[in-house]
Amino acid sequence: MKNILITIFTLFTLTAFAANVDTVYVFSNSMQKEIPVIIVFPESYFSDTSSFPSIYLLHGYGGDYGSWTRNDSNLLELCDQYNFVFICPDGNKNKWYIDNKKDSSFYCTFIGIELIEWQNKNLRTIKSANGRAICGISMGGFGAFNIALNNSSKFGAVGSISGVMNLKASKIKHKIAIRFGTGEKDIETLEKLSILNRIEDFNKSGSEFIFDCGKDDHLNFANMRLHKKLSENKVSHTYLSRPGKHCWKYFSDSFEYQLVFFNQFFGK
């Protein structure tokens, strides 16, 4: 596998934290191109020889691999606080982290298989699912669940923040249908892809799930429906709902709640 590693090593000297941010380019065999990935290391990574837990962070619709580091003002401090390695892959703005032959995009395979293989070879992180989690916002929340459900035992813990759990109810459902189906009326494709309709896959995944959505978010109804369906089918999960809208303020606050969940999972 061809890998090009570009080391930027930007040292943040603020008193609260000294996390390091690197950008790497990882070659994807499935897409035959290099994918940019930002990696945030805690300061302790460079003084401690042990292996660290890692969390993949997926951006939302129209975002990129730098969305988390640009928008979450607490990300670097949290990296040092918890001693996690954050891995932020690019999802090509609007590919939905789905393997799609129509436009030769295979971001589910890239993140769920290829990036993990690269990680295990190049980073001093825990190689088992017990030390690896994935979390995303909005489209990335859908992506985190989709990748975990399609790649069993790769991520021990999975989180979604304001995730799109029902593609059929999305404000851009017609664009999604055109991208992944046969046209604007291909609602059946959206039904099959939606997390809301994949309840049987949750227990098969072997992962622990947490998700939440703001009460003033247009995506909240689908998240509540998912919680209800998982509960009715006795699927173990953690669900939260707090006041808030679909914005980075809510995303950042929610991420801090979910980090407590991930920290407890890694500590088992």
Residue extents of the structural domains in the chain: 3-92+103-266
pLDDT of residue 183: 56
CA atoms of 12 and 20, how far apart (whole Å): 7
CA atoms of 210 and 230, how far apart (whole Å): 12
pLDDT of residue 182: 56
pLDDT of residue 184: 55
Tokens 């799930």 belong to which residue? 209
pLDDT of residue 159: 98
pLDDT of residue 192: 86
Give per-residue pLDDT as tens, 84-108: 999 999 999 989 999 998 889 999 9
pLDDT of residue 252: 97
CA atoms of 237 and 159, how far apart (whole Å): 10
Task: Give me the residues paired with residue 93 across strands.
Answer: 63
Contacts of 31 (CB under 8 A, 6+ apart): 104, 105, 106, 110
Please tell me the pTM assigned to this model: 0.91
- Spell 99-135 as b/e; 16+ CB within 10 A means b: beeeeebbbbbbbbbbbbebbeeebebbeebebbbbb
| Topology, domain 3-92+103-266 | Rossmann fold (3.40.50)
Tokens 């991208």 belong to which residue? 179
pLDDT of residue 196: 95
> For a pLDDT cut of 70, what percent of the chain falls above it?
89
Is residue 112 within 8 Å of 147, Cβ to Cβ?
Answer: yes
Positions of the chain with pLDDT lower than 70, given as ranges: 1-17, 178, 180-185
